[in-house]
C-alpha cells in the first residue's frame, strides 16, 4: 500500500464567470478547472479523496455565465469558436493519471459547461468511486473537444491523451440536472485512440443516479465499454435518447465495440423522448443519431451497429432501437 495520500475537502471555489480565466489549451481553447489531479510527470500512486467541495463557475447566472450570440446559442447546429476564445470549457473536477483508490463524493458542482466530473487515463490499478455528488448547470454547453454532446455531468474515459488500458469506475447515487440543449448526463467512454496499449473501460457500474435534462441529447451513454452494469437510474425531462450503448469498428488491432453490458431496472417514465427533427435528420449517420428510411430515429434505448451480446430489460411502453448483434431485449 502506498504511503502517499491526497485529501481535498470542504473548499469553496466560485467565479462570477469563466470567461478570460484558466489556461490556454492549444487548439482546444481556454480551459477552467476547479479541482484537478493531473501529475505533470508520471503517475500519482497514492489514495485520492475529493469530498464536500462547492464549486460554481458562473455565480452571477446568465449575466456572468454566458454572453449571448444573438440567439445563435439556441440553435442546435451552433458550435462556439473555442480556438478564438469565443467561449471557454469549464470542468468542475478532473482526475487523470492516478493508480490507487480515488473517491469523489458529496461535492456540489454548479454551472459548468464542459464536464462536471471527469476521470480519464488512470492506470488499471486505479479504483474510482464517484458517489453522492450534485451537478447542476444552466449554462450553454461548450461542445468540448469537438464532441457531439454540448457537455456532460459525469464522464469516465479509459484513454485520451496517451494509450491507457482502462480502470475500474463506479458511478452511483449522483444527482445531475442540466437545463440547456444537447447535454448528456453520464458518459462511460473507451479510448479516443486505437494505438497499442489503449483499452476499454470494463466491468464498471452506473447505478442509482438521478438525471434530469431539459432539452438533452442523451441520459446515459456507454461507448466502447464492456461488462458495465447500468441499473436503477432515473432519467427524466426531455432528450433524444434515454440510454445508449455504442461502439466503433475499424481495421486494426483493438476491438472497440460495446459488448456484454447490462441495462435493467432504469426508470424512464418521466422522460419525454424527443421525436426526429431537422437537427437529428441532418446527423443521422449512425453515430450521432440512428438512421431511418425517413431520416433519423429516437428512442428510450439505442444499441448501435457496433454493439453485441448486451442484455437490455425495459418496461412496457418503452422503445428500443437495436442495430447490434445478438443483443437480448426483454420487456416487463
pLDDT of residue 289: 98
* Residue partners of 28: CB distance under 8 A and separation at least 6: 82, 83, 89, 144, 145
Q: Give the CA dihedral 268, 177, 217, 140, nearest 10 degrees.
A: 160
Q: pTM for the complete prediction?
A: 0.95
- Return the pLDDT at 27: 67
pLDDT for 16 equals 85
Which of 155, 57, 167, 164 has the alpha carbon at shortest distance from 111?
57
pLDDT confidence of residue 160: 76
What pLDDT was estimated at residue 220? 98
Which pLDDT belongs to residue 1? Answer: 47
Strands 168-172 and 328-331: unpaired
Q: If you count them, how many residues does the chain have?
A: 332
User: Rounded to an integer, what distance in angstroms lies between the CA atom of residue 201 and that of residue 262?
Assistant: 14
Residue 135: what pLDDT? 98
CB-count exposure of residue 51 (10 Å: 0-12, 13-18, 19+): middle
Could you tell me which of 232, 226, 217, 220 has the C-alpha nearest to residue 191?
226
- The pLDDT value recorded for residue 28 is 73
| Per-residue exposure over 291-316, b if at least 16 CB sit within 10 Å of its own CB, e if not | beeeebbbbbbbbbbbbbebebbbee
10-residue mean pLDDT series, the chain (332 residues): 83 88 74 90 90 89 62 91 88 95 97 96 95 96 94 93 86 97 97 82 97 97 97 98 91 83 98 97 96 95 97 97 97 92
Amino acid at each position: 500500500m502506498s504511503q502517499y495520500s491526497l485529501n481535498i475537502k470542504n473548499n469553496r471555489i466560485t467565479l462570477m464567470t469563466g470567461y478570460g480565466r484558466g489556461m490556454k489549451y492549444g487548439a482546444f481553447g481556454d480551459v477552467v478547472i476547479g479541482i484537478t489531479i493531473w501529475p505533470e510527470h508520471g503517475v500519482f500512486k497514492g489514495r485520492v479523496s475529493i469530498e464536500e467541495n462547492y464549486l460554481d463557475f458562473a455565480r452571477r447566472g446568465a449575466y456572468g455565465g454566458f454572453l449571448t450570440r444573438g440567439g445563435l446559442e439556441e440553435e442546435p447546429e451552433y458550435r462556439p469558436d473555442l480556438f478564438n476564445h469565443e467561449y471557454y470549457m469549464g470542468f468542475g473536477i478532473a482526475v487523470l493519471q492516478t493508480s490507487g483508490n480515488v473517491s469523489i463524493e458529496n461535492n456540489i458542482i454548479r454551472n459548468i459547461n464542459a464536464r462536471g466530473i471527469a476521470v480519464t487515463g488512470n492506470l488499471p490499478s486505479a479504483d474510482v468511486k464517484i458517489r453522492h455528488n450534485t451537478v447542476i448547470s444552466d449554462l450553454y454547453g461548450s461542445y468540448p473537444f469537438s464532441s457531439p454532446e454540448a457537455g456532460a455531468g459525469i464522464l469516465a474515459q479509459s484513454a485520451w491523451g496517451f494509450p491507457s488500458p482502462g480502470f475500474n469506475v463506479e458511478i452511483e447515487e449522483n444527482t445531475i440536472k442540466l437545463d440547456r440543449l444537447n447535454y448528456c448526463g453520464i458518459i462511460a467512454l473507451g479510448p479516443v485512440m486505437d494505438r497499442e496499449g489503449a483499452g476499454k473501460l470494463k466491468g464498471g457500474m452506473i447505478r442509482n443516479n438521478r438525471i434530469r435534462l431539459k432539452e438533452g441529447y442523451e441520459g446515459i451513454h456507454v461507448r466502447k465499454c464492456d461488462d458495465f452494469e447500468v441499473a436503477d437510474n432515473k432519467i427524466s425531462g426531455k432528450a433524444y435518447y434515454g440510454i445508449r450503448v455504442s461502439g466503433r469498428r475499424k481495421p486494426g488491432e483493438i476491438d472497440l465495440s460495446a459488448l456484454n453490458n447490462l441495462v435493467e431496472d432504469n426508470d424512464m417514465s418521466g422522460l419525454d423522448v424527443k421525436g426526429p427533427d431537422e437537427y437529428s435528420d441532418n446527423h443521422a449517420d449512425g453515430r450521432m443519431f440512428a438512421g431511418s428510411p425517413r431520416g433519423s430515429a429516437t428512442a428510450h434505448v439505442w444499441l448501435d451497429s457496433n454493439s453485441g451480446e448486451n442484455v437490455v430489460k425495459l418496461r412496457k411502453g418503452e422503445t428500443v432501437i437495436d442495430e447490434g448483434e445478438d443483443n437480448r431485449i426483454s420487456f416487463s
